[in-house]
Structure 1
Amino acid sequence: MSDEATASHAERGGADPAVGDRSVPAGDATAEKHPAPSGTADEGEGPLNEAAALVALSKGADDPQEWADAARVAQIADLIAHRLRDDPSGLRIGTLALFQDTVSFGGGFNVHGHAAERTGVPASAGGSLARIEPDEQNGHLACYVRPHGYKSALELLQECHLIVLAQPPGTGRAAAAVNLLVEALIDAGAADGGSCYRSTDPSAVLSATWTPPHQNAGYLVELDDRSARGSTVYDAVDSGWLTAAASALKARNSFMVVITGPPRGVLAWAADRTPYVFSDLGAIDATEVLERHVLGPAPDEAELRDLRARLARSGAAEALREQPEPAIAVALARTVRARRDLAEQVALLRDPSEQVRQWFSRHEDLEALCFAVSAAVLEGSSYLTVSDAAIQLHTALVRDPYTLTGLRYRDRLGHDQPWITVSGAADDGTARPFGPPKVSFRSPLVRQAVLAHAWSYLDGMRNELLAWLRRLLVHSDVEVRARAAVAAGVMAWSDHEHALHRYLSSWSSSTVWPVRQAAATALGVIGGQPGLTEAVWGRLDRWAVEGTSAAARRQAKTAATAAGGLLGRDAPDRALAVLRIALAWKDDWGNLVPVAWSVVRLNDQGRADAVLAALLEWSKAQDLSPMVAKSLSVFLFSAERTHPATAGEADRPSVLWTRVGELGRPLEELWARALARKPIQEQALATLRTWLTDYAERDPRRLPVVRELLIGIARRPGKHRERLVYWLGVWSADRERPCRAAASLREAVVAATSR
């Protein structure tokens, strides 16, 4: 990030000139007036003195829920960002891959249209019909895998002579239709299975005057669902036409399958009142389709094992899990039969940028687009959370809250969003015994590509998209806040300088704590990209330097918060350097709280050794200077904080408690320094009592190590022994809050230091 950003409007104390903090509508004003978690709010716009800072720091224990929410946001965001950077599938996505726009599936991978199949076929004179040639028809019949609903669909067609196969594209519905027509004709006694025709002009077939031109024939009518938004062709499939067409077909011993998307409008009405609409054909196992097209219907077991091993090695098995479309399975089967490089074809197939580009080119409906963007921002959230956010985004774009009152996303997800699943499974794929269904993309990288495409290509949506995202940052659901913050970082990958000026600078200096926390999270996500890491660290270094304006002070807090995330986990020395700069402000204690929270997070990420070494260095003078007092306060804060665990589990105690045996020497030194210095001494005694009264009660196994720690402190020169003996005695004799461990520890300290 360039130094030019230092002079940005937001950093001089103003909001982003385009959106900034003004992107919050009146409906969210109440949420932003709520106080931030204790110890994280702005404690005034000016410098903060020692007494006020220590009070703010201690307030973090007064409202556990507030602290739990703030910590949970950071925890969720770190987990999501970690998955983005270390995806176990082996896939990776880079900035260039999102925007080259040169990759194409080509050939059989262009599976969502049938233009190649229909060109050059002469139409009949009777109703714009083209015969389905034997080679194409046999291709559908030879290796067809029947879904579980196929038999019911066939029985319905045999009885009614007409069915509407209301299935999403990509589910093998065209192959199913041809198989149904041929089987129905054979059962009806048609010679050689009769002839099947495809309509080249659905409006002609769906007219009120159309009659079947052929005896013993099958008719396939495929309606383009993009014309379903009020099209007269689509609306013509009503109960009257269905009844009349079925009667005419029966009279000529013929059959018809009409392919549509999920029923809506007049077709939905007809589905409830007539027997013709069939919408439960069932999913087809795409891997089984591939196996049958390669090995035939009765494969040799050894050949089948070899094929499955090849699919696993090449990534084809995972690709079919992400895109379980029969047409894709058929295309991959051609590659296998032709002995071409399967891994190369799979790489093209799994390219998330190309999947996203093709999807956006096919879906122009604003409702579908809003759901895709909402799912990308909030992936892993419940269906209701994602759909509500999609509606809010749509309303922001069209500025009409009443346009989507009848929209039901769940009815059309399979059609509009085949890359999305709504499942009750947990992250590891196992079924959850309770809880709402959650929204996720089948491919781990599609989410990133959707965000990049939406932000970089949908130019007319950018203002509204950013305002909508900004509102999610102050959502009452901490998971929504965390996921939105990560999404803001992913969007910035394509042009981080633009993102800095467009929204990150104003967010980082916001007066609203959750927005600043989101900016810190987004910066961590940006810094996770190898090419951007140094730029982010440079920005944090500059923001942490003591400033004179209120906006600069808030940006320093954001820098301190960001240093405690995944950036700090990967580079603890860089993080601790930023924290030291922020903590060392001469006459201002305002950064004490965010530095302390970041130290807790670094400890929790396995960096306690580096943290304690830094705190020892910062407090090395052991004098009355502010830096010594600040460092020891941070140490005591991190020694006492509990860490909110996942839902249904108990909070975990401080890492410094759980690792007390490993960190013995630096812990002993820091405890000794804190217990010897006022006013930090009062905080140290309170924290030590928490260790003995609360932590030891739940985890007495560590008492022997704590005993050695206290004996080591008592043996030091000065009044350490007298102080520990006195207070251990007071705590053990306290009737209101007795500390059972204190009595035995006092005896051990006295015995060890009396010789």
Structure 2
Amino acid sequence: MPEEGPAAEPRAPADPAAGAAPSRAEALKGLRGTAADFSSVRSGRIVAEGISRAGGATINVFQGDFAVYGGFTAGGGRTAGRRPGRRPTPVRLADVEYYVEPAGFESGVDTLDTQNLVIFTGKLRSGRRSQALATVRRVLECAKLDLVVHELGDEVLGDPTWRVPHARCGLLVEDRQGRAESVDDTWLTLVAERLRDQGSFLVVATGPVRGTLATAPKRADYVVTVDLPDPMEIVRRRVLGEQPWLSPADLDDRLAGTELAELLDEREGPEFATRAANAVIGALRKDSDLAEAVARLRDPRDQVQEWLDSEPDVADIAFVFATAVLEGASYLHVADAAVALYRRIGTSKATTTPRYLRALTRQRSWIEYVEHVDGPPLVRFRHANLRPVVLALTWFEFDGAREAILAWLTAQAQHDDVEVRTRAAVAAGMLSTNDFGHGMHSYLKTWAASPSATLRLSAAWGLNVAGQVSDHADTVWAYLEQWADLVRYDANARDLPATAALALGGPLGAANPARALRVLRVLVCDGDWGFLAAAASTAHMLLEEGRVSEVLDALTDWTDPTAAEEPLAKALTMFTYAAAAQGADRPVLLLSAARFRDELAELWGRALNHMDVHEQALEGLRTWVRVADRDPTVRDDVLLMLAGVADRDHRDYDQLLHALRDWATDPDDPSAAADDFRRELSEAGELLDEPDVQPDLGDYRAVPDAGRITRTAP
């Protein structure tokens, strides 16, 4: 929960070193551009899309141990101390009964047959153990030996004193600790000779080549890189072997109605293919829905953890994490961000950078490169639920790189392009949901208190996401209310209250507009002019979200003529900005002019009759009239609203006629709609029998066919 602020304390005097609060003139000068930047419709759509694709998904992350190679190490780490030797244990060769030979399989067989020793290298879950067993089985069969294989402990690797424990058999070492790194030419030569003397064959399954082995001159004679077999063939062979009544054609027909091919394309490792085969076998045996059984195999957490366990290099990590942060952005934005992250978290001194597009176009994966005829190609995950999982697991697991990742994320959150910074803000909000306290104090609050308006806006969007996709909404509201309340007792508190104002215009405020407007009132009534842009943009964003009734009710209340002068002027200025602010193709409030005619007329009238807001009110009205020039379909709505303003008082009536005449006869930008409206209002006033009596234009309604104001019968 947020810290409690001394709300009851008297307001502290402003600190001259912190800079004086902006004057009304300064606030008005920056209102248009600043507030428009704050209330970017595009940003709102990106945030809404991010929340929708996340679907409220959060995951529980349990930290594990793994290593990432390519100049970067992360995770809890493993101890490299030697374990005591263990007795050889027999291996079941039935485990490779359905083994599918990959391309290059014969190369391993030839190496083992001629050298009596082969070291298979490959990433975790690449099938390196299965290939080792299948290879030694083939060689034993060719040598007419018994199919006996013993598994040894990995302490034999690199030990020059090791002796072959059994003659004329197969031996297996599965290296889970990276012991093969200590293997050199001496060990390779000695062990190969001892195996040859005993007529035995040793296969070693280990990770990617590195350490001493990577520089051993004779490694090419003994080391074979594992190739991945066809995952669909693994499924077919295992299923047909267990279900002999099924023909290959029948199996293919049944699998065609599932998403198995897509799953195997995303997760091509033999281990997952074996799991998929077992799921198919189970569904066939139970005569259950095969498509449903296959669909249950889709597990985003398991998929991402499988990727992390495969020991990805730093370039791969950078691209996948950048995709998660900027999902839906253009390829160039994602690639540039990935390269920037790669340079921050990698220790490699290489001058080259990754070529991501080549990898994306070479094979399909769980990341899509989507081309558009009307825009640049985009990058996104094939399935929406992968994004929050990639963010959470990567953030939690890479303890040693979190600081560097955060610096990179902060740079993205203040990027010049709204697409980049808003997507980064969405990712920051998602990240915080797994440990909200850490996320708040590590970056969200830091951003919120930043002197950078762009970074504060990113914090506001991130807080909205955190509150919408998790159960932290009440905590987020408590922070926003506390930050807004700072204006009551600390004249130097500017950044946190401004961030609170911006956050109120997002999905959180749209979901609870009454609460948002109560908080916003604190900033309008108790804050200074410096919060005008944020408050105005929030009002506009709430209008964009359809909260018109709530916003107009609040503005009507805040602009009561009995209100204090400065809050009154600020609230009326907010109204004139919000009323004129553009939506997709017209001012947002114009879409609601017919429904809220009375409320709008009253607010326009108050603004026109306030000396400090009069010019802004006229400018806003002229915006509406210009829309009517472009789009005749809105003329009735504009005319009804103008009639409502004129009906308030003879001064409003006279002001409108005068303004409409000026706009109609403007030599640089004459308005035909203004001329029509002026004529309509004039004729309506002349219909009265008593010219000195204020015209009751509220009795006039638009006639759709004629487009004119006509007095209704008494």
TM-score, scaled relative to structure 1:
0.66
- Match for 2:275 among 331, 353, 357? 331
- Deviation, 1:705, is 2.1
For residues 160 and 607 of structure 1, do their structure 2 counterparts lie closer, same or farther at Cα, with a shift above 3 Å needed? same
Give the Cα separation in 2 of the matches to 1:631 and 1:155: 80
- The structural deviation recorded for 1:734 is 1.7
Residue of structure 2 equivalent to 1:489: 429
Q: What corresponds to 2:58 in structure 1?
A: 93
Deviation readout 1:274-331 (Å, 9 max, x if unpaired): 9x9999868645996587677569559999888888x78xxx9997676454422422
Counterpart residue number, 1:20: none
CA–CA separation in structure 2 for the residues paired with 1:489 and 1:512: 18
Equivalences for 1:245-644 in 2 at 5 Å?
Answer: 284-285=231-232, 298=246, 323=267, 325-335=269-279, 337-338=281-282, 350=299, 352=301, 363=311, 373-381=321-329, 382=331, 383-394=334-345, 403-406=349-352, 408=354, 410=356, 421-425=366-370, 434-435=376-377, 437=379, 443-450=386-393, 453-454=396-397, 458=399, 460-528=400-468, 531-545=471-485, 546-549=487-490, 551-585=492-526, 588-621=528-561, 625-642=565-582
Secondary structure (helix, strand or coil) at the match of 1:425 reads strand
The structure-2 alpha-carbon separation of the partners of 1:468 and 1:181, relative to structure 1 and needing over 3 Å to count, comes to: same
What secondary structure is seen at the aligned counterpart in 2 of 1:552? coil
Q: 2:587 aligns with which of 643, 654, 678?
A: 654
In the alignment, the residues of structure 2 paired with residue 712 and residue 479 of structure 1 have an alpha-carbon distance, to the nearest angstrom, of 41
Q: What residue number does 2:30 align with?
A: 56
Residues 599, 611 of structure 1: 8 Å contact kept: yes
Hey, what's the Cα distance between the residues in 1 that align with 2:357 and 2:158?
25
**8 Å CA contact 1:380, 1:440 repeated in 2:** no
3-state SS, counterpart of residue 679 of structure 1: coil
Q: 2:480, 2:173 → 1: CA distance?
A: 61
Match of 1:136 in 2: 95
Do 1:423 and 1:437's aligned partners in 2 also have CA atoms closer than 8 Å?
yes
Match of 1:214 in 2: none
2:45 & 2:457 partners in 1: Cα distance?
12
User: Partner residue of 2:663?
Assistant: 731
| 1:381-406 Cα shifts (integer Å, max 9, x gaps) | 544234223224315xxxxx763545
Aligned counterparts of 1:322 and 1:609: Cα–Cα separation in 2 = 48
Determine if the alignment matches structure 1 residue 681 to structure 2 residue 681: no
Secondary structure at 1:424's aligned position in 2? strand
> 2:680 is matched by which residue type in structure 1?
A
Secondary structure of 2:655's aligned partner: helix
- Amino acid corresponding to residue 601 of structure 1 in structure 2: M
Q: Which amino acid aligns with 2:639?
A: R
SS in 2 for 1:716: coil
Residue 707 of structure 1, CA deviation: 2.4
1:741–1:137 distance in 2 versus 1, CA, 3 Å: same
Matched position secondary structure for 1:435? strand
Counterpart position of 1:722: 654
Distance 1:294 1:220 in 2: 27
**Two-structure CA RMSD over aligned residues (Å):** 5.9
Query: Contact conserved, 1:197 with 1:220, CA < 8 A, in 2?
Result: yes
Post-superposition offset of 1:505: 3.6
Any idea what SS the aligned residue of 1:98 has?
coil
Aligned residues of 1:375 and 1:439 also touching (Cα < 8 A) = yes
> What is the identity, as a one-letter code, of the residue corresponding to 1:443?
L
Alignment of 1:147-166 (within 5 A): none
**Post-superposition shift, 1:747?**
2.7
CA shift for structure 1 position 159: 11
- Relative distance call for 1:69 and 1:523 in structure 2 (3 A) is closer
**2:68 counterpart residue number:** none
Q: Distance in 1 between matches of 2:428 and 2:240?
A: 44
3-state DSSP class of the match of 2:396? helix
Question: Do structure 1's residue 668 and structure 2's residue 609 form an aligned pair?
Answer: no
C-alpha distance in 1 between matches for 2:47 and 2:540: 16
Distance in 1 between the 2:614 and 2:177 partners?
72
SS at match of 2:530: coil
Task: Report the CA distance between 1:539 and its aligned residue.
Answer: 1.8
Q: In 2, distance between residues paired with 1:172 and 1:78?
A: 42
Specify the alignment match of 2:21 in structure 1: 47
Amino acid at match of 2:25: A
Structure 2: which 5+ runs fail to align?
A: 65-84, 160-168, 688-714
* Alignment CA distance shift 1:421-1:717 (3 Å): same
Cα deviation for residue 736 of structure 1 reads 1.4
Instruction: Flag the structure with larger Rg.
Output: 2
Q: Mean alpha-carbon deviation: is it higher for 328-337 or for 505-514?
A: 328-337
